[in-house]
């Protein structure tokens, strides 16, 4: 086992453990903080895949924006200071069964594929080429249509979020 593998295993274990804590923590705030740790672990996984751009974007978008939004909404939707009672639905055993089955099926099917055992070797430094990615995102032969759609979606989502969440004064009475 070399250094890179050790880094991967450590990051994977940390993120899986904290992901488990995210779905099992009783206090919502703790779940949100565990989520941050999971996201950082995934960022380290991206680094081991030699995609430093997405590692940084992961921190920027997920930790810097999404996790903080989630923490804000945890704070805004608490009825009391502590989250009392069971945080799990009564049918969680069924959900657990489904999830375990899904995991077994996923890994089983992947193991049938001949590329499953391939070793990921180190890519040449020009592989992580942001210039190529940027050009592909805006070239008509590449992804310009999905890219524009994504930006329209983002704008629509932002405007929609503001319209939904805004606290209209006239509705407060009812």
Partner 1 sequence: MDFLRDPIGFVIQWYVGWLAGLGLPAVWVDVIAKLTGALVLATGAMLFVVFLIWYERKLIGRIQDRFGPNRVGPWGLLQPVADMLKIFTKEYITPIGADKFAYNLAPILAVAAVLLLWSVLPLSMTVVGTDLNVGLLFLIAVGGLGEMSYILAGWGSNNKYALLGAFRLVAQLISYEVPLVLSALVPVMLAGTLSVTGIVEAQEGVWFIVVAPAAALIFFIASIAEIGRSPFDLIEAESELVAGYNIEYSGLKFGMFFVAEFLHAFTVSLIFATVFLGGWRGPGAEEIPILGFVYLMLKTFVVYFVTILFRGTLPRFRIDQMMNLNWKVLTPLSLALIMAMAIAGGLTRDLPIFWQVMAFVLVNLLLLALTDQIMKIARRKKAKVNLAIGTGQPILTSSTKHGTGE
Partner 2 sequence: MIPLAWYLVFSAALFCIGLFGALARKNAVAILMGIELMLNAVNVNLIAFWHYHAQVRSAPYVHGLAFTTMVFVVAAAEVAVGLALIISAYRRRQTPVVDELTLLKG
Binders of partner 1 among residues 30 to 69 (CB under 8 A) are 33, 36, 52-53, 56-57, 59-60, 63-65, 67-68
Single residue of 10, 64, 73, 148 touching partner 2 by CB under 8 A: 73
- Binders of partner 1 among residues 118 to 157 (CB under 8 A) are 128, 130
- Residues in the interface with partner 1 (CB under 8 A) total 20
Single residue of 71, 83, 136, 147 touching partner 1 by CB under 8 A: 71
Give the nearest distance from C-beta 143 to partner 1 in angstroms. 19
Site string for partner 2, 46-65 (x = CB under 8 A): x-xxxx-xx--xx--xx--x
Single residue of 10, 20, 56, 82 touching partner 2 by CB under 8 A: 20
Secondary structure element (H or E) that encloses residue 128, with its range: none
Measured between its terminal Cα atoms, the distance across the chain in Å is 64
Cα(144)–Cα(82) distance, integer angstroms: 47
94 alpha-carbon distance from chain centroid:
24
44 binds, among partner 1, partner 2, none (CB under 5 to 8 A by kind): none
Counting contacts by CB under 8 A, is residue 33 touching partner 2? no
Angle at 92 between CA 88 and CA 94, to 5 degrees: 170
Output 82 or 95, the one with its CB closest to partner 2.
95
Cα(134)–Cα(105) distance, integer angstroms: 36
- Residue 70, judged by CB atoms within 10 A of its CB (0-12, 13-18, 19+), counts as middle
């Amino acid at each position: 086992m070399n250094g890179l593998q050790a880094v991967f295993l450590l990051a994977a274990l940390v993120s899986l453990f904290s992901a488990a804590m995210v779905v099992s923590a009783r206090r919502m705030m703790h779940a949100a903080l565990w989520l941050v740790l999971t996201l950082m672990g995934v960022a380290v996984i991206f680094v081991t895949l030699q995609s430093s751009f997405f590692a940084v974007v992961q921190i920027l978008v997920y930790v810097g924006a999404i996790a903080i939004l989630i923490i804000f909404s945890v704070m805004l939707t608490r009825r009391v200071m502590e989250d009392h009672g069971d945080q799990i639905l009564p049918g969680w055993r069924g959900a657990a069964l489904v999830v375990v089955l899904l995991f077994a099926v996923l890994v089983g099917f992947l193991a049938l594929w001949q590329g499953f055992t391939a070793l990921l070797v180190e890519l040449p430094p020009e592989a992580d080429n942001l210039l190529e990615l940027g050009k592909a995102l805006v070239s008509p032969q590449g992804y310009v249509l999905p890219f524009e759609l994504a930006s329209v979606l983002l704008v629509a989502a932002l405007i929609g979020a503001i319209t939904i969440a805004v606290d209209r004064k006239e509705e407060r009475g009812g």
